[in-house]
Structure 1
Amino acid sequence: MVKYILFFLLQLSLFTPLIAQQYPTVRFQTRDGLPNIAIRSLYVDSRDILWIGTENGLSKYQNGYFTNLFVEDGLAENNCWAICEDENGHLWFGSYGGGVTSFDGDAFKIYNKENGLVHNQVQTLYAANKKVYIGTLNGLSIMDIDTKEIKTVKGSQAKHPQNYVSGFFQRHGKFYYTTYNNGLYEVVDNGEEFKARKIHNGTMTLSLFIEGDSLYCANKGQMVKYHIDDFIKSPDTGQPVGRSSVWDQTQDHLGNRYLAAWGIYQNTGGLYRFDAKNMIPMNQDFGIDSKHILALEFQKSKQQLFVGSHDKGLYRVSLDNSVVYFPRNGTEVKGIEELNDKLLILDESGLEIKPQKRNDSSSVHIHPKTFKKEQENYLKAGKYIPKHEDFFYEIDYTTPSSLIKFYRLSVHKNKIWISTNIGLFALNETGEITDYLPLHTMVMGFTPDHQLIETNPYHGVRVYNDPQSFDYHYFPEEDIDTPTMVTDITSSPGSTYFSSAFSGLFLYTGGKFKSLLKEGILEEKKIKKIHYTEDGRLLVGGEYGNLYILDGDADFKLLGRYSKKRLNGNSIVALEDYKEYMVVGTEQGVHLISDHSYQFYSQQQGLKHSPRMVKVIGDDLYIATEAGYYKLDLKHISSLEREKIGVQLHNISINNAAISKDNYRWFDYKESSISLNADQSAVSVDFALEGVKHPDLVWIRYRLNPNEEWSPFQQNTLITINHLNHGKYNLEINAFDQHTSTSETLSLLKIIVEPPYYATPWFVVFSIFTLFLLVHGLFWYNLRRQRQIQIAKSNITKRIAETRLEALRSQMNPHFTFNALNSVQYYILEHNQEEAIRFLGQFSSLMRTTLEHSSQAWISLREELRYIKAYVDIENSRRKVPIEVNIKLDSSLSNDDTQVPPMIVQPIIENVFVHAFPPSRLKPKMTISYTKYNKHSLICSIADNGIGFDSSTISNQSKGLSLISERLKLQFMDEKSPITIHSTINTGTTIQVIIPIRIAT
């Protein structure tokens, strides 16, 4: 008994009180978009827009974006000390020095002393009874919101230097206002003017608010509670309920009232929660580090409290209780577990055991000294010490308690297991250490049949049958199926899974290990986290951010995969499951993923610190971090109402120039479309999303028409299109809210780009018609020109051909004449006058025929044959052995109607007489045949039985043939040779000539 008493006294003596829970808070400064960090006023209007008045600029905060307004935008002054909204939905902004500015959604209008305002230094504004009450530094003015008539309340001005109006209230149909140092007044309306009737001198009232029949008056340095009727009667009937100077107040969705305090000369400022009796400090709970709080406002739609400070900007506190932060004095939380309705929290300061029941505030804390003491007792008892030589991870037994490192917290069979650098400890639910094992293991676990698993990062794995007696089976690291550098362990009802930093995923079942990497089941080598879900899935988190979902109870079939691009973050650090959701932690936050939902929680929802591990306990998700832990209400998060997302288009630029402000109403583009000229092709649009609690968690993509592909997702609401061709476009956006897993496709803007003048229908028709005329005219001109050129070319070609033919004939005539004269000379030399005279007569007749034919292009076939026979007779008359010449004519050829070019065959026949038959050749023969070749030509074949010749000598013996070939080419207008020669030595020669013909008409 004494042992247990001493044990608990030790725990209590070593326990360090921990900081209470905190709500997620975000602070905004000038770098976040605020115009100035000195906040003077806050107001949420009927459009759910938060207006922020600062000492240098007015800001509109909507859906996560600040829009700042200044004098150049239409304000009376850059500072804004008071804001209200009238019954017409118009806003009023009071400045300290420039009067008041109204805004009707389209334009700003300034009212100051020149318009009838009593004073330009506005302190407070109040809208009621179709009027705006304008409290100034000295006096009260009343504005009719319909007529815009300003009336000064007669008697509201005073010579007192501190006569500024501080608050308003109504009671029993009467209207009252308070001043800082000049008492309470009633505003009396006699129909023509307003008068101020002083009720009493009152107190130094800074602000006031009404709750039921009670009036709370914030005086200098204290808060005083009155019954309203008693306050009107006398200021001395109040009861102090708090000590600080309160400047503003608001209520949240649960009815909690919060007060903004600034002690001015005392350090009593800050944010307070007021319970009608006490002012409870809330700075620590809300993470607010300013004591100079001047303005408060609560946004019901998002359950967010806005706190305006005079020195550190604007704070936004989330009060929906979905995320709560528990700091741990800056220490890193190593593990969180549950045991018998008790919450176990392991951090660098030791183990805390906290009852989860709200009415039970008892807590036990086990300090590192307690663990060290247990180790020392084990060593003193002389028990077994594992050796490093046996591949145990070495322990430094001189490690002091201040250097103890806590690795892992596990719960197994109603015992708490904690692995450290000085050994492995087991504790019961009260925090008493029941077992100590001198095992240094960073990652430990248990098999489904309750065997302890010890891993060594540099060697193998031990599975213990009995840890106390060190009865174990060792699996050496040399075996490829043994996991090394183990990063995590998880178990299913029948198996245990191991993940390795370098060797992939392993399965342990039936006393054997199996490498799933070696089996080719999962090729991911570097695995950081694994988790077996209640529905039998095995979640595997890769080192580089890829998530694998395997069927853990069958053949490890890959059920799904989330690449790094689909998750926020670079590395998976924690895995859990809740109902149908996978809980995936990365260094940027926590994902809740199911088949139909994708939600992400990060800094925007209050998770300022990166997750280290996660644990689902009941309907709560605990997130351990380097500076405490968070608790997320999973039931609330998973059932978040999917609000319909809307869009407000608040900025359009064309060719880098913003369009006129006249196109907007309440900062939203009035129209659903915009028409642009042809030269206005660059469009930029900026918009805000409505119905979104955390705009930074919304992914956006766009497209220009429904049949086009979506752009890649982006988190920026600015869309820039560098060039649009003429046509009609429907700019759509698809917004996916990671906070609520809501996706919405919205039409943002219809864009009509007019075509350039050269693409308009009338210009196209005119251009086509003009082009047709030009093409038509050019075509006929070119056709006529081509005809003229062709005729001229034909004439020139014909003339050239004729000239060349005449030249060729003139070459042949002298050649033939020379041969004939040789014959005459021969007869004369032989003194054969009769033959000479006869031959000369034949020759002269032939010459006359030759001269006639030389001037003609065509002669009849009859004339051609008569000419050939005459020539043959002359040649035979010169020979001792005449050549037997046979002329054959195709029956299809008509002698009279068929015409041929003259003097084509004669040179060939002449060659036969000259070259084919030497004197020694007996019985010389030559056959000349005419055969029709086609409609336009015939073939003349000259065959002899002469001596023949070698084909290589054709060019040397056939100048006449060359002349004939050239004539025929010109006649045919063809480059192909019309003459073919077949000759065999001592056998004879056959020459075929294709000769053009024409039929006489």
Structure 2
Amino acid sequence: MRILLNILFILFYFIGQSQNYHSRNITSADGLPGNAIRSIYKDSRSYIWIGTDSGLSCWDGERFTIYNTLNGLAGNKIWYIDEDNEGNMWFACFGAGVSKFDGEKFISYTKEDGLVDNSVRIVKYCSQTNCIAIGTNRAISILKDSVFFNFNTKNNDLKKNVIITGILEKDSAVYFYDFANNHYFIQFENGKPNIHRVADKLTDNLGVSSVYEDKKGQLYFGWERDGIAEYYDSTLNKISGIGQVFGIAKDYSQNIWAASWNGGGISPPGGLFKITEDSILRLNQAYNINSILGWAMKFDEKQKFLYYGTLDEGLYIIPPQYFEYYPSGYFNENKLFLNGIEIDNQNNIWFYSDSSFFKWNSKSFVKKDIEYLYNLRIQAEKNKISDISLKTRIKKLNKLYHNQRTHINDIEVDNNNNLWLTCSNFGSFKIPKKNIEDSYYFAPFIHSDIAFTSSDTLFRCGPWASSLKKFDNYNQSNKIFQYTDTANPIFSKFIRTYKDEVWVSSRISGVFIYKEGELINLSKRDTTVNKNINDICFDKDGYAYLGGSDGRIEIFEPVNRNKIFEIKLKGIKNSVIWLNINDNLLFAGYSDGLRVFNIDEIKNKIINYRYFSHTEGYDMEIVNASDLDTKGNIWLATNDGLMKINTRLFSSFNLSPLTTVIKNVEIFNKEVNWKDYTNTYKWSGLPDDELILSPDENHLSIYFHTLNFLNPESDQYYYKLDGIDKDWVGPTDKKNVVYPYLHYGKYKFLVKSRNKTSGLNSNVAEFSFEIMTPWYKQIWFYTIVLISLIAIIFLAYSLRIKWLKKVEEEKRKIMQHISELEIKALQAQMNPHFLFNSINSIQNYMLDNELDKALGYLSSFSKVIRMTLEFVDKKFVRLSDVLSYLQHYIDLEKMRFDDMFDYEVKLSNDVDTDSVLIPPMLLQPILENAIKHGIQPLRVKGRIILEIEKLDENTIKCIIEDNGIGRKKSSEQNKRRKHKKESKGIKITKERLDLLNENNTGVYGIKIIDLFEKGEPSGTRVEIIMDSILN
């Protein structure tokens, strides 16, 4: 050490008198295989491995997994643990050899496998030389590339047998330290290890029981059975009187911690030691550790706490020394219920109970009982000049002292560094410059809560005082100013000051503030302000923080003292007991524990906090007062002595994130051998590659856990399944989640945690998997179904079309037959009318004795009748026959009407009348209609033109044009007739054309055009378009 100490003096002092710290003891009752702890190691996966004399344990902070010879270990005495560059774990099994564990199986090496001997004390992986160095109770082995290189006395490599207790690797050399003073190092030359003696006069005769190297390369040796040797820069400093040290570690403050063994009383005193720059502390009593058989020591760099292993009491976890307890016994008291505390500018701590007060400078203390104050009061009466006799005054004082409860009310420091103490029934006492022996009685009327402002003005109030009293010049004058709220008596719980402001918490009326000569009731001005305030503190910017019984912390801005924000924790209903601020952190003591907030975050209305309860060492339910010392530490006056909060540790630590792991995944609540699915990660057994599950493996239970070895109950979890959960689910204390009947697709499960004590977030653990699409929902199935469906639809459609065609064909035949019958009926419909007219004409000729005309008419009539009968049974006839038929018909009508019209046929040159077939009896009704309704009423000779032209290869147009009176005039004349003539020609022709169209015999159409000349009707033009059929 840099400073040599009087070891015995320091040891005896700290053994007899010590503060208390929090620790956690883990034993076989908690799951360890045994209480004899030989080695402790935290692996690269953040698991803790604990070697005992009864087997090996792997601890995840919640559950211990035990390994022993039944699992493949070479032996059950695990004296040392290390990890190689591939993550394999190596174990020194004392008396049985060495074992290697790759996460799935153990591989053991014994003397039969080439190991020098089985009494292995230490095994260490050397990264620079990529070998395994092994030290036993007799010799040395190197395992490199699966080959053992042994060094012992038998091969004359060693001068004598060794007891290897420490191995280090420096500058590509492996050093072996021996308890019997023979130290060696091995270097590799051409791939072969060569052994050499360590030539160092300082360590050559040093019997080493353990060795530790810090980050700066400084070495610490457990030496002989006496203590620790510090070796640095060619200097060796020995510290003796500790015992035989088998475990060494360095903490966050660069303090050395030692596990000392005093087996059989041969190396006293044994136990847990902490070595700082200027002190050596034996901390067994401080941590309530009885064992003197300390053996293993390990510092957790990430979480900043220590593991201390003993051979009889198991494992101790020592968190950072956030909290130091100074219980009643520390001050030689059975029960010290403290009411208040005040720390002066020389860091003296003044605290008091009802009947005594103390001054403590952390090394020694002075106690004064209330009897001391009584004597000061008596002395003051003796020195006082009064009209009342001294005997009478003392008698009255004794009556108050003995018959009424006399107790200390308050201790405060003024701006001149004088201490003031108030006491009920006695009044106030002044302790000049904080020297207790110079104390004297000051005044009878100042006997309750007091406070000094920055201008050194004294204020007083009390639990039954309705007003706040101000003493401007309390050393020279008794002049008092009173400030009262007539409607709300003050009845104070306590007084706090900030600069020249005075804050008073009332027992019944809320919060009062004296500012610039005015007393303001904040609770009256703002009804949301809590009326039951337990403590008030101020930050460096003057913001006030008020903590109340309803769990709220209210923040007031420094100028007008308006409330700007309040901290109200969801689900937390515990009272705020005390408040204090240091280093931009707000420390809030609740009835359920301590919460630490960041001031900057509070002002930005962001509420995060760290929480400490009994599991972290904060085990105070009753705190009556707090104060800051000159170093920024917070001291609490409790119902059992003092507690110190080392605030520096709260802001100086840079804790690493916790590690959250997925422990297991089940399908339908059953364990799964994931090797049947894919490659697995050997340390967890979970899939290492992409996991594909069948569609019916869609009910998953996922178990997770954060590797937390101090306060796992403070971990709160957040999780989500991408594709199912949009946001993180949490916080929750549950460590598993079930996803039933998941839809097919790709998923990624994410989980993380946040420790509500440390405020640390963990990493995000992931588990990815894919549930295959069911065969009936895959593309190939959809394709087959679609093709099949199309085929079925097509087949059904084809059959349907075929059936419809058949039905339509049958229907068409029926309809065609009907149409033919209708056509024939229409054709037959004309015959009676024509016959009637023709017979009338013949009759008239005979009556008139015009036999030649009658014979000529009869000849043409017979030809018309014959051709009509021939046309009835035919669908189509030659156009030449139609024209012949029409000529005979016209001849009859011209004879009948005395040649009253001319008839002309016009044929296009491209029309072959013998080759073109058209339906019969289409044109005759049109001609008849033209004669009857157009020509016959005409007063001049009429004219009818039949024109036939070819439109295209299959279509002809027939035009019948007359110069009759027109349809309009014919209609007007018909209306005036008594017996109206009915025109059936056009109607019959249209009906025939519709039937022809329905029978699919072609495309037929008729168009009627009224002709005009100079605005007057001059005839009618009828156009018939029809498909022609070539004969």
Pairwise same-fold verdict (TM > 0.5) = yes
Q: Is the 8 A contact 1:574 1:614 kept in 2?
A: yes
Give the direction of change, closer, same or farther, for the CA distance of 1:250–1:352 in structure 2 (3 Å limit). Answer: same
**C-alpha distance in structure 2 between counterparts of 1:396 and 1:705, whole Å:** 79
Amino acid paired to 2:587: V
Matched, 1:562 2:564: no
Tell me what 1:955 maps to: none
Which one-letter code corresponds to 2:560 in the other structure? Answer: A
Which one of the candidate residues 687, 703, 716 is aligned to 1:685?
703
Distance in 1 between the 2:239 and 2:513 partners?
70
Within the alignment, does 1:268 sit opposite 2:266 as a pair?
A: no
Give the distance between the partners of 1:539 and 1:43, measured in 2 at CA: 45
Q: Of the candidates 416, 420, 423, which is equivalent to residue 417 of structure 1?
A: 420
Give ranges in structure 1 of 5+ residues lacking alignment: 1-15, 231-236, 386-393, 779-1001
Structure 1 residue 732 and structure 2 residue 750: aligned?
Answer: yes
Q: Contact conserved, 1:35 with 1:68, CA < 8 A, in 2?
A: no
Q: CA deviation at 1:575?
A: 1.7
2:146 is matched with which residue?
A: 147
Distance 2:192 2:684 in 1: 37
Residue 581 of structure 2, aligned match among 577, 581, 594:
577
Give the match for residue 767 of structure 2: 749
Other structure's SS at 1:265 match: helix
Aligned residues of 1:112 and 1:119 also touching (Cα < 8 A): yes
Which residue of structure 2 lines up, in the alignment, with residue 132 of structure 1?
A: 132
Match of 2:543 among 537, 542, 545: 537
Instruction: Give the structure-1-normalised TM-score.
Output: 0.60
* Alignment partners' CA distance in 1, 2:707 and 2:742: 28
Shift of 1:102: 0.7
| Counterpart residue type for residue 540 of structure 1 | L
C-alpha RMSD of the superposition = 5.6
Q: Tell me what 2:650 maps to.
A: 637
Q: Distance in 2 between matches of 1:519 and 1:150?
A: 86
- Superposed, which structure 2 residues align to 1:438-457 within 5 Å? 438=444, 443-445=449-451, 452-457=458-463
Shift in CA distance, 36/442, structure 1 to aligned 2, threshold 3 Å:
farther
CA contact (8 A) 1:241 1:276 kept: no
Q: CA 1:375–1:66 in 2, change beyond 3 Å: closer, same or farther?
A: farther
Query: Which residue in the other structure is 1:429 paired with?
Result: 433
Letter of the 2:719 partner, please give it. Answer: Y
Question: Following the alignment from structure 1 to structure 2, what is the Cα–Cα distance between the partners of residues 243 and 639?
Answer: 30
**2:90 — aligned with what?**
92
Aligned residue in 2 for 1:602: 612
Deviation at 1:540, TM superposition (A): 2.2
> Given that residues 674 and 685 in structure 2 are in contact (C-alpha distance below 8 angstroms), is that contact kept between their aligned partners in structure 1?
no
One-letter code aligned to 2:264: Y
Secondary structure, counterpart of 2:731 in structure 1:
coil
Which one-letter code corresponds to 1:703 in the other structure?
A: K
Is it true that 1:621 corresponds to 2:619 in the alignment?
A: no
Is the partner of 1:565 in helix, strand or coil?
Answer: coil
Q: Which amino acid aligns with 1:306?
A: Y
1:776 and 1:456 map into 2 onto residues whose CA distance is: 101
Instruction: Give yes or no for contact 2:538–2:545 (8 Å, CA) kept in 1.
Output: yes
- Letter aligned with residue 728 of structure 2: W
Amino acid at match of 1:268: P
Give, in whole Å, the separation in 1 of the partners of 2:792 and 2:519. 88
Q: Check 1:396–1:658 CA distance in 2 against 1; reply closer, same or farther (3 A cut).
A: farther
The answer to whether the 8 A contact 2:262-2:270 is kept is: yes
1:463 and 1:258 map into 2 onto residues whose CA distance is 54
2:719 aligned with 1:702: yes
8 Å contact kept, 1:726–1:752: no
Aligned to 1:371: 373
Structure 2 vs 1, CA of residues 368 and 173 (structure 1 numbering), >3 Å: closer, same or farther? same
CA distance in 2: counterparts of 1:539 and 1:508, whole angstroms = 16
Find 1:69's aligned residue among 44, 66, 70.
66
CA change 1:672–1:524 in 2 (3 A) is farther
SS at match of 2:589: strand
Alpha-carbon distance between aligned partners in 1 of 2:237 and 2:579, rounded to the nearest angstrom: 58
- 8 Å CA contact 1:23–1:318 kept in 2: the answer is no
Amino acid at match of 2:245: V
CA distance in 2, matches of 1:514, 1:777: 96
**3-state secondary structure, aligned to 1:712:** strand
What's 1:783 paired with?
A: none
Task: Go from structure 1 to structure 2 and tell me whether the alpha carbon gap of 1:73 and 1:501 turns closer, same or farther (over 3 Å shift).
Answer: farther
1:300-339 CA-to-partner distances (Å, cap 9, x unmatched) read 44443322112222223356x7665555635455444343
Query: Which position in structure 1 is the counterpart of 2:852?
Result: none
Check conservation: 1:153, 1:194, Cα contact below 8 A: no
2:40/2:297 contact within 8 Å kept: yes
> What is the Cα deviation at residue 516 of structure 1?
4.0
How much has 1:369 moved relative to structure 2? 4.2
Matching of residue 40 in structure 1 with residue 42 in structure 2: no
Q: Is the 8 A contact 2:326 2:642 kept in 1?
A: yes
Maintained 8 Å contact 2:657/2:763: no
Match of 1:549 in 2: 555
CA separation of 1:506 and 1:206: change in aligned 2, threshold 3 A: same
Structure-2 residue corresponding to 1:28: 26
For residue 329 of structure 1, give the secondary structure of its aligned residue in structure 2. helix
Q: Deviations over 1:52-86 (max 9, x none)?
A: 21233433456x55643323655444542222334
Partner of 2:50: 52
* Cα offset, 1:504, TM superposition: 3.0
Distance 1:526 1:703, change over 3 A: farther
Shift of 1:46: 5.5
Say which SS state the counterpart of residue 292 (structure 2) adopts.
coil
Q: Which residue of 1 aligns with 2:391?
A: none
Instruction: Report the alpha carbon displacement of residue 442 of structure 1 after superposing the two structures with TM.
Output: 6.3
CA 1:496–1:223: 2 relative to 1, 3 Å: closer
Could you tell me how far apart the structure 1 residues matched to 2:231 and 2:73 are? 39
Alignment partner of 2:466 out of 460, 463, 475: 460
Q: Secondary structure at the match of 1:704?
A: strand
Query: Which of 732, 739, 744 in structure 2 is aligned with 1:714?
Result: 732
For 2:730, what is the secondary structure of its paired residue?
coil
CA shift, 1:294, in A, is 1.1
Task: For residue 294 of structure 1, give the secondary structure of its aligned residue in structure 2.
Answer: strand
Counterpart position of 2:807:
none
Contact 1:351 1:365 in 2 (8 A): yes
For 2:379, the aligned partner's letter is N
Q: 1:308 touches 1:314 (CA, 8 Å); kept in 2?
A: yes
For residues 183-582 of structure 1, what are the structure 2 equivalents within 5 Å? Answer: 207-209=209-211, 218-219=223-224, 221-222=225-226, 241-242=240-241, 244-252=243-251, 256-266=255-265, 267-272=268-273, 281-284=282-285, 288-318=289-319, 329=329, 331-348=336-353, 350-353=356-359, 366-378=368-380, 397-398=400-401, 406-414=408-416, 415-420=418-423, 423-431=427-435, 432-438=438-444, 443-445=449-451, 452-458=458-464, 460-465=466-471, 472=480, 479-484=486-491, 486-493=492-499, 495-508=501-514, 514-522=520-528, 524-551=530-557, 553-554=559-560, 556=562, 558-565=563-570, 570-578=574-582, 580-582=584-586
Question: Aligned to 2:372, what secondary structure does the other structure show?
Answer: helix
Q: Which structure's CA Rg is the greater one?
A: 2
CA contact (8 A) 1:620 1:631 kept: no
Q: Distance in 2 between the 1:767 and 1:710 partners?
A: 40
Q: CA deviation at 1:640?
A: 4.5
Letter in 2 for 1:69: I
| 1:269 and 1:293 in contact (8 A); partners too | yes
8 Å Cα contact 1:20/1:327 also seen in 2: no
Q: Residue 460 of structure 1 contacts residue 474 of structure 1 at CA under 8 Å; is this kept in 2?
A: no
Please state how far the C-alpha of 1:761 moved relative to its aligned partner: 6.4
The answer to whether the 8 A contact 2:377-2:441 is kept is no
Task: Give the Cα–Cα distance (whole angstroms) in 1 for the partners of residues 718 and 398 of structure 2.
Answer: 55
Whole-angstrom distance in 2 between the partners of 1:18 and 1:653: 56
